[in-house]
Structure 1
């Protein structure tokens, strides 16, 4: 009769070696196919509900494979690795063994589901792995929801007609940009005479209210009086008219409009009241533009600076023209191939869309104040902006696939080189920064969409249309506060708005 002690000391025979080898199961090159029963049903726009039933025979076989692997590695006191009784290992490592079996089965199911059903998921499945329990008897049932790419036919894109705005930069445009540039170096001084004018700085208390009930009070905030005043969930569309002529001590009232993505759902899309209690007025004193000034900012003289500003304006006008053409192309594509996207997908992409749009405008030469104003507008209407951008992405991606357009490493390197030139950085530093911020995928998407648009432009008719004025955003200053008093991003995890120092 064997005591087990002798088994531990006996050398391993060929038979026992064969037994251990048999525990290894199929090799990685010969993956075992599971006998799955799979049911896939629609669960909403771009969403599938998947039910997977794993038969008991597959569970038992995976159990034997996992037990065999554990048998070779388990450390049991008094036994050499691989020599402990399998029943002992099964009892001692019951929890770990069940976890290994569950993990292996779920991974195999996901791989087989992808290979056999080609769902084209666009995010990780909505699936609670920890809540899944391995049954003692009977089959294992796995249920999950998967977001998939929208299913639509590629619309006809070779017969479009669009208009491209053409505008020449005038000396008056350059003079206006020159003054805006000088304001960066201006001194803010008290305004001792007269009322508020466009371009002045106002120190005031702002009271947002609805139906006579206060929503938020912002004390002694300073902002520049422009056509619009934007805040993180809306705007005052005509702040200039409301405050022009106002003096310290006076109070004015006007209306504010709340965007569709306000942190407070009850305020979305509503018009509310705003009371402005003016405390102080300030104005800008421009610097002396002498030789020392121009030398200090790296230019030879006034004309040298104006030439540089003209280049910035030309880059911006070119950006606006491309955006106008792109908008017309996408409008027609969306009309020809309508499809829906799930709201939760749009919500998750809002921050990524915001970053991308702001980066594109920064590269086009927009100033920090213009970027902050545009960022606030996007935040206030994040759902609509993101929804359109996602539809644009899926449409252009399908067209890129049909046209066999891809983003190569050379494309990324060239784009990084251009960014490095604009930001006065080394390409290596730019690449490192983009990787750290998780923006390389966004950059690749940006390149793919641009290449797709360029290919479409090779086919379609583009009519030139001269315009006298650029397609500019209304002049606006921007506050970091919201009308509701809830910080932007506080309820949904989005990042807070960028400050001026962050934009610089």
Structure 2
């Protein structure tokens, strides 16, 4: 076997592999021998058809199996001889093998770029962290939300007008320019006053009403309303008050905690779980904000070419992610006549930025000698256990069974590298909403720059 390596770019290689004709003959002979034992051809007893006849009926199959065998047996050795390690699925080019001729195939592959990086460039990054802390008030808000889920509505016994917090049961009709709106009627609609679940004009009209009352509310719709018939129009709602109800919440005690889940022995254990879950959620949000800033700041460190195959793969993942979001929102992307190739092209700029940042982060991991220890894996399994409610041991066994440990270690290596960068960074607290707006504006500016470059 001969291997010739051509450097197409700093990150792209073309390997030309030549396999001697004798090896091709040996492979084809073996394949046809197996075919001969199984072939059923009219006029010939099983196993007696001559090679020329087999080639006529099974030539394409034999060629396909020969390609698979010849490339499969030589590919790893070719990479070793060329001293290259592809970072994505290579592209193969070949003509069908023929007996008496060498089999030649070409491999186009991408490799990681080699570049220098001075630690001074990534140490001391200036970052902003959302100022988020779990307080007793926030825990109590979550408890109130849980109580809301278990609340019951009972008829209002005292004779008084409706007030904030009451639930008004109404039948209504809507009118546009004096005519009934098609589909604009409903019965037994429950409106909780002060909840903001309906238009403000309707809520205001339902304050201080009693059963049997009929009130009207005029709602002015802007141009953004989904129904084009209502855009920029005033709609009159006639509301017939059928009943007033009050919401009764369960007592905040140990029995309530056990009603949420049998795993909570008392109210205190429920509070502890809420606090832990909130702390994990807040930490995820902090990590996400810091990660976004770090990846943005390290993106342009080092000079290197970005492998095109990684950009294509990342753009493809972005497209699939968008399609999944559409499916979750109730839209079928397969029926939306989306141009997949055009979408991949549209995402290529963002994908290249993400790949470039990832390559720099990987280089920093190497420089800082970041390694994942068993304790890191165990800690991650415990975190997943709390999140999905399964034993950590079972989650680990599932990762091993499904060959997911390598990807897990890669993710943990990335996270540890980010933690190392944060440890050396200058971090200031920032208002969460203002920081989110700032990061969103930066993301839009980057996207706009990508589109301009394209």
TM range (shorter): 0.5 to 0.7
Q: Supply the distance in 1 between the matched residues of 2:282 and 2:16 (Cα, whole angstroms).
A: 58
Q: Supply the distance in 2 between the matched residues of 1:274 and 1:113 (Cα, whole angstroms).
A: 69
Among 364, 370, 392, the residue aligned to 1:399: 364
Among 61, 67, 72, the residue aligned to 1:107: 72
Among 304, 310, 316, the residue aligned to 1:348: 316
SS in 1 for 2:86: coil
Q: Supply the distance in 1 between the matched residues of 2:417 and 2:32 (Cα, whole angstroms).
A: 55
2:337 alignment counterpart: none
1:245 alignment counterpart: 201
Query: Quick one: structure 1 residues 75 and 335, their matched pair in 2 at CA, closer, same or farther if it must change by over 3 Å?
Result: closer
Q: Supply the distance in 1 between the matched residues of 2:234 and 2:5 (Cα, whole angstroms).
A: 62
Q: How many residues align?
A: 363
1:296 alignment counterpart: 259
- Normalising by structure 2, what TM-score? 0.56
Is 1:64 matched up with 2:20?
Answer: no
SS in 2 for 1:162: strand
Query: Quick one: structure 1 residues 63 and 134, their matched pair in 2 at CA, closer, same or farther if it must change by over 3 Å?
Result: closer
Q: Supply the distance in 2 between the matched residues of 1:104 and 1:284 (Cα, whole angstroms).
A: 75
Q: Supply the distance in 2 between the matched residues of 1:275 and 1:431 (Cα, whole angstroms).
A: 59
Shift of 1:447: 1.0
Offset from partner CA, 1:251-290 (integer Å, 9 cap, x none): 6655779xxxxxxxxxxxxxxx999999999999463225
Shift of 1:60: 1.0
SS in 2 for 1:169: coil
> Does the CA-based 8 Å contact 1:186-1:285 persist in structure 2?
yes
- Normalising by structure 1, what TM-score? 0.52
Q: Supply the distance in 1 between the matched residues of 2:126 and 2:154 (Cα, whole angstroms).
A: 52
1:173 alignment counterpart: 138
2:295 alignment counterpart: 330
SS in 1 for 2:8: strand
Q: Which protein is richer in helix relative to its size? A: 2
Q: Supply the distance in 2 between the matched residues of 1:456 and 1:310 (Cα, whole angstroms).
A: 28
Is 1:420 matched up with 2:388?
Answer: no
SS in 2 for 1:412: helix
Question: For 1:82-231, what aligned pairs fall within 5 Å after superposition?
Answer: 97-108=62-73, 110-127=75-92, 132-135=95-98, 140=103, 142-143=105-106, 145-149=108-112, 153-154=116-117, 156-186=121-151
Shift of 1:346: 1.9
Offset from partner CA, 1:176-218 (integer Å, 9 cap, x none): 232233333345899x979999x99xxxxxxxxxxxxxxxxxx
Query: Quick one: structure 1 residues 442 and 75, their matched pair in 2 at CA, closer, same or farther if it must change by over 3 Å?
Result: closer
> Does the CA-based 8 Å contact 1:53-1:139 persist in structure 2?
no
Is 1:462 matched up with 2:423?
Answer: no
Q: Supply the distance in 2 between the matched residues of 1:425 and 1:102 (Cα, whole angstroms).
A: 46
Query: Quick one: structure 1 residues 61 and 408, their matched pair in 2 at CA, closer, same or farther if it must change by over 3 Å?
Result: farther
> Does the CA-based 8 Å contact 2:295-2:357 persist in structure 1?
yes
SS in 2 for 1:245: helix
SS in 2 for 1:123: coil
Query: Quick one: structure 1 residues 96 and 180, their matched pair in 2 at CA, closer, same or farther if it must change by over 3 Å?
Result: same
Q: Supply the distance in 2 between the matched residues of 1:70 and 1:402 (Cα, whole angstroms).
A: 50
1:41 alignment counterpart: 8
Shift of 1:335: 3.6
> Does the CA-based 8 Å contact 1:124-1:146 persist in structure 2?
yes
1:314 alignment counterpart: 279
SS in 2 for 1:336: coil
1:270 alignment counterpart: none
Query: Quick one: structure 1 residues 71 and 436, their matched pair in 2 at CA, closer, same or farther if it must change by over 3 Å?
Result: closer
**Superposition CA RMSD, Å:** 6.0
Query: Quick one: structure 1 residues 336 and 135, their matched pair in 2 at CA, closer, same or farther if it must change by over 3 Å?
Result: same
Query: Quick one: structure 1 residues 394 and 294, their matched pair in 2 at CA, closer, same or farther if it must change by over 3 Å?
Result: same
> Does the CA-based 8 Å contact 2:127-2:426 persist in structure 1?
yes
Shift of 1:333: 0.7
Shift of 1:97: 4.9
Offset from partner CA, 1:57-113 (integer Å, 9 cap, x none): x341212332565698775999xx9xx999999899765654444233323553344
Query: Quick one: structure 1 residues 322 and 133, their matched pair in 2 at CA, closer, same or farther if it must change by over 3 Å?
Result: same
Q: Supply the distance in 2 between the matched residues of 1:53 and 1:255 (Cα, whole angstroms).
A: 62
Offset from partner CA, 1:145-194 (integer Å, 9 cap, x none): 5454466544632343434455543333233232233333345899x979
Shift of 1:426: 1.9
1:23 alignment counterpart: none
Q: Supply the distance in 2 between the matched residues of 1:275 and 1:448 (Cα, whole angstroms).
A: 57
Where in structure 1 are there 5+ consecutive unaligned residues?
Answer: 1-32, 201-219, 226-239, 258-272, 355-370, 373-379, 475-504
Query: Quick one: structure 1 residues 399 and 184, their matched pair in 2 at CA, closer, same or farther if it must change by over 3 Å?
Result: farther
SS in 2 for 1:177: helix
Q: Supply the distance in 2 between the matched residues of 1:194 and 1:152 (Cα, whole angstroms).
A: 69
Q: Supply the distance in 2 between the matched residues of 1:279 and 1:439 (Cα, whole angstroms).
A: 60
> Does the CA-based 8 Å contact 1:127-1:143 persist in structure 2?
yes
